[in-house]
Amino acid sequence: MSGIVEVGERSKMKKMPEFNQPEEVVTASAGDSDPYLLPVRPPPPSIPSLVSLTLKIWPPSRGTRDAVALRLVETMTTPSVITRRHGCVPRDEVSSVARRIEEDAFVIASGNVREGDDDDGMDILQIYSQEISKMMLAVVKEKSSAAGSTKPIVKDSDVDHTEENRGSEISHA
């Protein structure tokens, strides 16, 4: 039988298309009706490499770390939740501050890596993110108090609060 499956009585036979994989024909009964000839495909081969596939997100690449530093610069110098409350950091010093924050957070998070850990790095990445947030907030608060101003540099009236723009100041890392 070359890839054709017989279904039902001979007078009601239907031809079914061939499968690309080799098939084996099995006879099965369904109650007191005529036996059916059905193709049985072999199970797909097991792929052990997919089962053991692991994605590690720590340590981040140099490009990712640079992108984090650039995002810090943007967050500290443009209207955002933080700058609306505490004020912006002057642009002339923010690049070096952002780089220092990222490097310090990386060192702290890397210090939490344990030898032989089979972790994917999520816990360490969380520490890295938390350290960056804490340091950035400390810098913004320090710069705004050092400037002698408790008022934010960005006025609330300068920010568009319409429904379609709500959340636009939230970082999308």
State the residue range of the domain holding 143: 62-158
For 69-124, what is each residue's pLDDT tens digit?
999 999 999 988 888 888 888 888 899 999 999 999 999 999 988 776 667 788 99
Phi and psi at residue 109, to the nearest 5°: -65, -40
- Give the separation between CA 12 and CA 9, rounded to whole angstroms: 5
Q: What is the DSSP string of 86-135?
A: H-PPPHHHHHHHHHHHHHHHHHHHHTTPPTT----SHHHHHHHHHHHHHH
Question: Is residue 46 in a domain?
Answer: no
Domain count for the chain? 2
Can you give the pLDDT at residue 119? 72
Model pTM score: 0.54
Regarding whether 73 and 26 lie in a shared domain, the answer is no
Residue 125 sits in a domain whose CATH number is 1.10.246.200
Regarding whether 68 and 26 lie in a shared domain, the answer is no
Checking if the pLDDT of 28 tops 60, the result is no
69 with 115, same domain: the answer is yes
- Is the predicted pLDDT of residue 8 greater than 60, yes or no? no
The set of residues, in sequence order, having a beta carbon less than 8 Å from that of 96 and lying 6+ positions away, is none
